[in-house]
């Protein structure tokens, strides 16, 4: 039996254990950079596998790394899984549903962590096949906290120095059957993401005498329209970008024009030049629109993430390994999506590949997408994902020829 078949067979054999890890994490979701319960599970499993987990990320950050050393010197490939949950209520009635009110793994990071633990089990089992080292990365704070950046600041990509990296994300509610592995092989995988807030100050007055004040509500309304014109009138129809105003706040009663208010939103693109243009134009439109109405505006940006880039040389190479393992019929090529990822912090620094794996299609009874409170995940994908992580690491290190 070929090595890839042995690997898949072993992954299916330990499926029950991978499912148990996933469900234990799912029951006890945690948000942010500090995930003590999840970290304890990961460290316990890695230690049982004979590995030496280490904390990375600084104070209050429960990032975990571990190195699986091969039989000889060689390159280093990083495999990444994120561990954090979302601040939302789960509406499913599963025997292992979230036990923490207002927190749930509805983005499926519990599946990512379980798959990488499964890959760790496989790689330690087939350690003799490694022509170099595999660095495991279990990351907190992907959902808006840039946990990847914090881990990088504290040495993630050094000791040993990382030469390449792979991440994988679950997908539900799609047209792809369970276990299908997807990749954007011809460009970026994920968009950049920037959030903005525009605070507007006017002069409050009675709603019956608007001429005696400076109307903040009118200014905010005009701001929304002006911002949306960036996409429709300042960018080519062939330029991928999106800008959305997602909050408008002003006023407390129905007969008083408020003194102040604000809007918030996000913009996404795959082009750093377009990203800079959007930031500049948001500031200009905010200032000019407010000034034209006698108001004042201030703009703040936060949470900026770069696009997540699939390396043009590494990506087709890794995707060929995936096809070796699961068959071409269980893979598909996709385009970039406007969701964002802090794996971008890694892809900016080392050649990287971002994969997606289907955890259930609509036709299979999994209609809800990730971040839905009713999202369900077909656990049959877990051993496929674990084997993909492990096989890609083994094959890439083999292709590097075991050279440092």
> What is the pTM for the complete model shown?
0.93
DSSP 352: E
Closest Cα to residue 172, out of 360, 357, 334, 337? 360
The three-state (H, E, C) secondary structure of 261-322, written as one string? EEEEEEEEECCHHHHHHHHHHHHHHHHHHHHHCCCEEEEEEEEEECCEECCCCHHHHHHHHH
Strand partners, 60: none
Amino acid 372: pLDDT: 97
d(CA 401, CA 404) in angstroms, rounded, equals 9
Please state, in angstroms and rounded to a whole number, the distance separating the CA atoms of residues 63 and 77.
17
**Average pLDDT value for residue range 90-114:** 97
pLDDT tens for 6-63 read: 999 999 999 999 999 999 999 999 999 999 999 999 999 999 999 999 999 999 999 9
Provide the residue ranges of all domains of the chain, joining segments of one domain with +. 3-191+308-399, 193-305
The tokens of 73 are what? 């010197």
pLDDT > 60? residue 404:
no
Output phi, psi for 144, to 5 deg: 95, 5
Average pLDDT, the chain: 96
- Res 403 pLDDT > 60: no
Tokens 């025997």 label which residue? 95
pLDDT at 71 (0 to 100): 79
CATH class of the 3-191+308-399 domain in this structure: alpha beta
Which residues is 68 bridged to in the sheet? Answer: 134
SS3 content of the chain, % helix, strand, coil (to 5): 35, 25, 40
Query: Counting Cβ atoms within 10 Å, is residue 402 exposed (0-12), middle (13-18) or buried (19+)?
Result: middle
| Residues 6 or more apart in contact with residue 40 via CB below 8 angstroms | none
122-126 contacts at long range (C-beta below 8 A, 24 or more positions apart): 122/7, 122/10, 122/11, 122/14, 122/386, 122/387, 122/389, 122/390, 123/68, 123/390, 123/393, 123/394, 124/49, 124/50, 124/51, 124/68, 125/10, 126/3, 126/6, 126/7, 126/10, 126/390, 126/394
**pLDDT at residue 402 above 90?**
no
Contact assessment for residue 62 and residue 55, using Cβ atoms and an 8 Å cutoff: yes
Query: What are the tens digits of pLDDT across the range 318-362?
Result: 999 999 999 999 999 999 999 999 999 999 999 999 999 999 999
pLDDT digits (tens, 9 = 90+) for 146-188: 999 999 999 999 999 999 999 999 999 999 999 999 999 977 8
Measure the CA–CA gap between 258 and 247, rounded to whole angstroms.
16
Instruction: Encode 157-181: b = buried (16+ Cβ within 10 Å), e = exposed.
Output: beeeebbbbbbbbbbbbbebbbbbb
Q: What is the pLDDT of residue 12?
A: 97
Residue 187 per-residue DSSP state? S
Q: Tell me the C-alpha distance between 223 and 280, whole Å.
A: 15
CATH 3.30.70.360 fits 193-305, yes or no: yes
- The string of pLDDT tens digits covering residues 212-259 is 999 999 999 999 999 999 999 999 999 999 999 999 999 999 999 999
Name the nearest CA neighbour of 146 among 193, 107, 89: 193
Judging by beta carbons within 10 Å of its beta carbon (0-12, 13-18, 19+), is residue 67 exposed, middle or buried?
A: middle
Question: Is the pLDDT at 378 greater than 90, yes or no?
Answer: yes
pLDDT cut 70: percent of the chain above it: 99
Tell me how far apart the alpha carbons of residues 164 and 388 are, in angstroms, rounded to a whole number: 15
Contact 325, 6 (CB under 8 A): no
Convert the pLDDT of each residue in 255-298 to its tens digit: 999 999 999 999 999 999 999 999 999 999 999 999 999 999 99
Q: What does the alpha-carbon distance between residue 232 and residue 242 come to, in Å, rounded to a whole number?
A: 10
Phi-psi region for residue 275, left (φ > 0), alpha (ψ -120 to 50) or beta?
Answer: alpha
């Amino acid at each position: 039996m070929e090595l890839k078949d042995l690997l898949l067979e072993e992954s299916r054999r330990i499926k029950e254990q991978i499912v148990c890890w996933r469900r234990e994490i799912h029951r006890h979701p945690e948000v942010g950079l500090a995930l003590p319960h999840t970290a304890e599970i990961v460290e316990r499993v890695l230690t049982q596998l004979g590995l030496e987990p280490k904390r990375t990320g600084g104070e209050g950050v429960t990032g975990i790394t571990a190195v699986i050393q091969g039989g000889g010197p060689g390159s280093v490939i990083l495999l990444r899984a994120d561990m954090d949950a979302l601040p939302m209520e789960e509406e499913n009635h599963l025997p292992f549903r979230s036990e923490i009110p207002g927190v749930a793994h509805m983005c499926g990071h519990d599946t990512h962590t379980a798959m990488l633990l499964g890959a760790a089990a496989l790689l330690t089992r087939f350690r003799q096949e490694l022509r170099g080292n595999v660095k495991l990365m279990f990351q907190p704070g992907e959902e808006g906290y840039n946990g990847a950046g914090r881990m990088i600041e504290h040495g993630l990509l050094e000791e040993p120095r990382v030469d390449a990296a792979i991440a994988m994300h679950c997908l539900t509610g799609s047209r792809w059957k369970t276990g299908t592995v997807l990749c954007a092989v011809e460009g970026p995988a994920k968009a950049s993401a920037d959030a903005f807030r525009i605070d507007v100050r006017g002069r409050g007055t009675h709603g019956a005498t608007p001429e005696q004040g400076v109307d903040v509500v009118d200014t905010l309304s005009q701001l929304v329209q002006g911002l949306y014109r960036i996409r429709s009138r300042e960018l080519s129809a062939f330029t991928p970008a999106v800008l959305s105003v997602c909050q408008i706040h002003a006023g407390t009663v129905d007969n008083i024009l408020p003194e102040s208010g604000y809007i918030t939103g996000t913009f996404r693109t795959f082009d750093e030049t377009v990203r800079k243009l959007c930031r500049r134009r948001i500031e200009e439109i905010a200032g000019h629109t407010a000034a034209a109405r006698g108001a004042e505006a201030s703009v703040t940006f936060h949470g900026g993430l770069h696009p997540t880039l699939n390396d043009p040389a590494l990506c087709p190479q890794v995707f060929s390994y995936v096809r070796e393992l699961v068959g071409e019929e269980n893979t598909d090529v996709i385009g970039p999506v406007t969701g964002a990822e802090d794996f971008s912090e890694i892809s900016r620094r080392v050649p990287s590949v971002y994969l997606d794996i289907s955890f259930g299609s609509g036709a299979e009874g999994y209609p809800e997408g990730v971040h839905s409170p009713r999202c369900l995940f077909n656990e049959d994908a877990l051993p496929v994902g674990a084997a993909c992580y492990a096989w890609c690491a083994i094959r890439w290190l083999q292709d590097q020829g075991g050279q440092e």
